[in-house]
Structure 1
Amino acid sequence: MPQIREKKERALGEKLFLKGERCAGAKCVMVRRNYPPGAHGKRKRRASSEFGTLLREKQKVRFLYRVDDATVRRYSKEATFAKGVFSSNFWRILESRLDNVVFRLGFSVSRRAAQQTVAHGHVLVNGKTVTIPSFRVKAGDVITLKERALGFGLFQDLGSRLARQQTPQWLEVDPEKKAGKIAGAPDVEVLETMFDATKIKEFYSR
């Protein structure tokens, strides 16, 4: 599975942090092997067609946020009909997912791990168990882990991990209480996105 995730990054030519903290260092596959996967070794990337460029942006979203094509399509449609700018709407929908917030707060080292943490029933939203990774959080929501989960080896260093976590401005984290809070709506101007949302809209408008 790790190699499959690395191949996705190499195919797209982007560092998508699919393996969490490993992607921030020299061990990242995009540092070691920044060329397309395949049996023929290092080679130049082919120029993409218009459709290929649109598809590439959609695939970035799928792999980065670990969502399927139907979900990307649904979010694109929702962002299109919502008030405001499509790009901001689309990005806020993705960022407001509970699994993404668990990752952003530092409770999990990757979105993949965050999805599992939520699905296994370890996460509380305002004191209530939520097991749906796509659950949308809103301003004022408090995110914590169950006491039982805090005893697992996976979360034993959670306090120190939260203390060094760099969270976006719309999230607040309390390392001592091991809790996070949604301070406001995700701000697309503050956090640089890794994809071109306008191409997502164009892809589904074809």
Structure 2
Amino acid sequence: MASLSEILTSIRQRLDRKEELREQILPLARQLIRESAALIKNAHRKEWNEAQNRRKVLIEAVSDLKVKLAQAPDLWFAGFVQDALKEVAEACIVYALLRDEPVPSPEDLGIDDAPYLNGLLEAMGELRRATLDAIRSEDLSTAEKFLAIMDEVYFEAMTFDQADAVTQGARRRTDALRAILERTRSDITLAYQYRKLSNLLPALGEVTETENELLP
């Protein structure tokens, strides 16, 4: 049987190795966050070739990260790693939605359910941005399509009633999505009303000209 000193020495050595691994993983997690933000920017700008390459690199990086953490699986669930995975999920979902491709699953991305769910909810904020771009381009059919997706995500997310410790704060993000959804619905409604008014203006102008001609 090992002595107390030997037990503590073994623990110290294992924790030292884990700390070294954590220090190696931190910059990788930050890089995932930066690359995810860049992927979202590429998607909004319709830079599809660059976006596709970046998406592939991100998914491979997540897989590599999981391999690196196989010897310390508890670090996979550390806050900074889960946050990075959430950002990857958000970016890949935004890419798929704006490219009109099937939305990747958690298994496709190699990401656990909770960070995936939160990434999906945060992706709806980017979808609102795309909706506003569509409204400015007078592409109301695309705006309606994005609104329908936001609607579906919100009502499905409402059914998740697990504790925050399990969903990593999904309830809070669902509540925030409700406000985003209502603002977006209002923006689209106003855009339709503006279109109707714009269509009526030429006819009103013709009526006014006719009335002026009839005046003595």
- What TM-score, normalized to structure 2? 0.28
| Structure in which a larger fraction of residues adopt helix | 2
Q: Which has the higher strand share?
A: 1
In the superposition, the TM-score normalised over structure 1's length comes to 0.29
